[in-house]
Structure 1
Amino acid sequence: MITGFDFGTSNCAMGVVEPSENNAETVTLLPLENGKAFVPSTLYALERELICESVGLQITNPSLKEEYIGLRSGPLAQARRVRLEEGIEQDEQSLFFGHAAFEQYFSLPEEGYFVKSPKSFLGSSGLRAESINFFEDIVTAMMQSIKQRAEKSLGENINHTVIGRPVNFQGIDAEKSNQQAIDILTVSAKRAGFQSVEFLFEPIAAGLNFETRLTEDKTVLVVDVGGGTTDCAMVRMGPSHRNNVDRKADFLGHSGERVGGNDLDIQLAGKCLMPLFGMQSIMKSGLPVPTQPFWNAVTTNNVGAQSSFNSQQTGFQLEQLLLDASQPHLIQRFIDLRDEKQNHHVVRSSEQCKIALSSLDQSYVDLSYIEANLGCDVSRSDFSEAISRPLSRMVALMEDAVAQAGCQPDLIYVTGGSAQSPVIRKAIEQKLGSIEVVDGDHFGSVAAGLTVWAQRIFS
């Protein structure tokens, strides 16, 4: 079976082409969790060492399994020790994915190992071999789970896939970063059981899905505001182009950067929620409290920031701040958040606020899971001000793609979960003028386009 696989920063989805009436073929996104097509890109493990063990147990290809066991002999032995020490039985569920991972983390944030949006880390610079191996295991475990769910839904094996990729996984040393991320995804996909793996730029995939609706040729600026990146592509599309297998001549320009919905959540959390934990407060000396620990707390898509936030040095710094602060109760609240590992939960609350502000002028952020009656109101104007920096970078990417093409688009096709925000829509319209802006399936367009391309190259 052939699939398109959107291994997304925020959500994952998988699609297949199925026959419909009059022998026509339609793209169907497979139910992956509770009958829904989208599963959050999250993993929770009772102990992080058990991720490696789970991967090894579920590799079905004998040669790949043998190779993996040889490569991970040390971590696998450590996993066995952890099971014995923690009293975790072999038949006890040790890994959780999607909403179940969120539920486990929310109920026991200070225990276990929780990761959200692993795709954000794959292109990180300076990763040691051990870190790359660990990210391979996280991605493989997630892919194994998603593939098994999809196959259960289909009732048959999935062998070939096209996986979406951003234009750039990271902004620094992009070529090396991109290769590292693609290597991790390829190795993981093969260990998850895919025999053939290809990749396609996500904005182009979104454009392919939109192209099926066009009745005349157009030059389209595709703007995909994903969870981890914003990717733009200027593409000639329509009836004269869509049946071509080689589309290189139709792609007039593309741009992409690691700035997406997660960055909007982080900025909103930092500027609107972190003041409740002491950010922007004053020390007894009259100087402002250092802001870096607070930004590190909410920058959950950055390995370095999270390492720093959880370091012993930050612990010592916060103990000193507690003595020097003019409002020590705020710093203590922040220390409690850190001790109980609730920073991911705060960013999740920020994300839910962002989503609410797509349809509301104001939303209340409830933080009572940290302290009774804790929370604040956030307006759409507050959100607009908080995200001004990443939003300006998104608009610059659109301008770059248009400049590369050397022509103006006939229309703008916007997709991606964060593209639903009226604040982002307004910025696009203000910058690119009176060009028609068309909304796509904000969550399913990439998966659908990947499926269209997979069917074209594998069938």
Structure 2
Amino acid sequence: MVIGFDYGTANCSVAIEREGQFQQLPIAGSDKLLPSMISAPIRSVVSEWLYRHHGVSYQTPEETALLQQALRTNRDEDLPVSAQSVQFGLSALSQYIADPQDVWFVKSPKSFLGAKGLKPQQIAFFDDVVCAMMLHIRQQAEQHTQTPIEQAVIGRPVNFQGTGGEEANQQAIGILRRAALRAGFRDVEFQFEPVAAGLEYESQLTCETRVLVVDIGGGTTDCSLLLMGPEWRDKAQRSESLLAHSGCRVGGNDLDIMLAYKQLMPLLGAGSPSRSGKALPLLPWWNAVAINDVMAQGDFYSPSSAQQLQQLVKEAQHPELVTRLLTLWREKQSYQIVRSAEQAKIDLSVQDETCCPLDYLENGLTHHLTATIFREAIESPLQKMLQQVVEVMQQATTAPQVIYLTGGSARSPLLRHALEQLLPNTPIIQGDDFGSVTLGLTRWANTLFR
């Protein structure tokens, strides 16, 4: 069987074609979206779980070395690895929140795949993380299809997160391809996520239309100007229909991180003065919330960071604030504080103000936020997102007739209003924010593999 597979930064989903209808499959209980989260007692458990419970192969020198090290570590830690040792989605989040100190947890693994400077064994580990998630999702999907799923078209952004340019993109694609093949897929192809979203919209068109697809995902913002319509439908070669495209490594996660940094971290001492009157260094506070940056998180949770934070508490004019940052370090609560910001973002998409509870840092600690404060906090990443539209319009020789807006972060009134100001006379169609890409990938999969 053939599927479209959106391995997303925020959520994962898959879809199939059945009797001419395209539909997403439940992969998290009855839910069609699996939040992109994974947890285990420690990270080495993932490799042994794949090997022992799912028969995943370890063939290259890097893979073999990773597995051997994992087996030794788990044995030394006296950790039995069961079929339930690795959790996904909200189950992973619950496991982490219940015991953040003693649970290995990663949100949005896709964010790290294009990271610059990864060593071969680090890449092998990310192969395992992605493989574990893909294998779990394929198995969940097969429970509903009752048919083996062996062919997939996987979505990809125009540019993955990372600073390595095309080399970073190829690194990320390599990880996704290897992971999918090891997870049991026989044939794997890729399609740009904004193009896939456009393919879903194209199914509704009755004549050729110039469509600007704006796909604002969890980790990236991608824009494509496409010729779409009945005459293009079902064609396996679509290069002539792609008029321009652009993408940046900024998405909904960056809005959450920036809101956390600008509005929540001052409650933990960010921007406060030292006893001498000088400003405390801001890097520890940024590293604390930069959950999509491997190096930043590694620096923040290093042993030397604890010593630095203890020293900052002594030097601070308001040590009670910086003590909260030390608590966050000790309890490994970076993901929790960014998730608090994410929930505030979601609330402020439908209301003018919200209250952000931070009880896990200190009993009774809360912070009041308004839509105006939210807009000010996210101004920098918002402008980077809009710049992608500007770049597409500069590449193209013609203007779009319609904007198709989709992606998990596309619901924000701020983003829609900014687009309306940028292209004031172009109608905006709101897509299925959490389904357009997946359904479009499925249409493309059925075109390629039929």
- TM-score bracket, normalised by the shorter chain, equals over 0.9
Q: How many angstroms apart in 2 are the aligned matches of 1:249 and 1:87?
A: 58
Is contact 2:114–2:162 with CA below 8 Å preserved after alignment?
no
Aligned partner of 1:250 in structure 2 is 241
CA-CA distance at 1:92 after TM superposition: 6.0
Q: Which amino acid aligns with 1:401?
A: V
Residue 16 (structure 1) aligned with residue 31 (structure 2): no
CA-CA distance at 1:82 after TM superposition: 3.8
What are the residue-to-residue correspondences of 1:78-227 with 2, within 5 Å? 78-91=69-82, 93-170=84-161, 172-227=163-218
Q: Which moved more, 1:273-282 or 1:88-97?
A: 88-97
TM-score by length of 1: 0.95
Q: Which moved more, 1:146-155 or 1:228-237?
A: 146-155
Q: Which amino acid aligns with 1:211?
A: E
Aligned partner of 1:38 in structure 2 is 33
Counterparts in 2 of 1:171 and 1:53: CA distance versus 1, 3 Å? closer
Q: Which moved more, 1:50-59 or 1:3-12?
A: 50-59
Q: How many angstroms apart in 2 are the aligned matches of 1:446 and 1:58?
A: 32
Q: How many angstroms apart in 2 are the aligned matches of 1:341 and 1:66?
A: 31
Secondary structure at 1:65 match in 2: coil
Give the counterpart of 2:424 among 423, 426, 433.
Answer: 433
Q: CA deviation digits over 1:384-414, x for unaligned, max 9?
A: 0011001111111011112212111001010
CA-CA distance at 1:41 after TM superposition: 0.5
CA-CA distance at 1:290 after TM superposition: 1.4
Counterparts in 2 of 1:26 and 1:92: CA distance versus 1, 3 Å? closer
Give the counterpart of 2:47 among 45, 52, 75.
Answer: 52
Counterparts in 2 of 1:45 and 1:433: CA distance versus 1, 3 Å? same
Give the counterpart of 2:59 among 58, 62, 67.
Answer: 67
Q: How many angstroms apart in 1 are the aligned matches of 2:54 and 2:93?
A: 25
CA-CA distance at 1:83 after TM superposition: 3.7
Q: How many angstroms apart in 2 are the aligned matches of 1:260 and 1:219?
A: 24
Aligned partner of 1:307 in structure 2 is 298
Residue 318 (structure 1) aligned with residue 313 (structure 2): no
Residue 263 (structure 1) aligned with residue 254 (structure 2): yes
Q: CA deviation digits over 1:398-441, x for unaligned, max 9?
A: 11112212111001010001110001111111111121011000
Q: CA deviation digits over 1:231-253, x for unaligned, max 9?
A: 00000101222232211101000
Is contact 1:221–1:402 with CA below 8 Å preserved after alignment?
no
Q: How many angstroms apart in 2 are the aligned matches of 1:66 and 1:284?
A: 55
Q: How many angstroms apart in 1 are the aligned matches of 2:245 and 2:65?
A: 43
CA-CA distance at 1:313 after TM superposition: 2.9
Q: How many angstroms apart in 2 are the aligned matches of 1:167 and 1:125?
A: 17
Q: Which amino acid aligns with 2:9?
A: T
Q: How many angstroms apart in 2 are the aligned matches of 1:438 and 1:117?
A: 28
Q: How many angstroms apart in 2 are the aligned matches of 1:99 and 1:5?
A: 19
Is contact 2:53–2:83 with CA below 8 Å preserved after alignment?
no
Is contact 1:222–1:414 with CA below 8 Å preserved after alignment?
yes
Uncovered stretches (5+) of structure 2, i.e. residues with no partner: none
Is contact 1:58–1:144 with CA below 8 Å preserved after alignment?
no
Secondary structure at 1:418 match in 2: coil
Is contact 2:402–2:428 with CA below 8 Å preserved after alignment?
yes
Is contact 2:49–2:82 with CA below 8 Å preserved after alignment?
no
Aligned partner of 2:21 in structure 1 is 26
Uncovered stretches (5+) of structure 1, i.e. residues with no partner: 20-24
Q: Which moved more, 1:322-331 or 1:279-288?
A: 279-288
Aligned partner of 2:7 in structure 1 is 7
CA-CA distance at 1:71 after TM superposition: 4.7
Q: How many angstroms apart in 2 are the aligned matches of 1:404 and 1:452?
A: 27
Aligned partner of 2:329 in structure 1 is 338
Secondary structure at 2:152 match in 1: strand
Q: How many residues align?
A: 450
Is contact 1:59–1:193 with CA below 8 Å preserved after alignment?
no
Identity among equivalent positions (%) equals 45
CA-CA distance at 1:58 after TM superposition: 5.0
Aligned partner of 2:380 in structure 1 is 389
CA-CA distance at 1:89 after TM superposition: 3.1
Q: CA deviation digits over 1:160-179, x for unaligned, max 9?
A: 00000000113633110111
Q: Which moved more, 1:1-10 or 1:429-438?
A: 429-438
TM-score by length of 2: 0.97
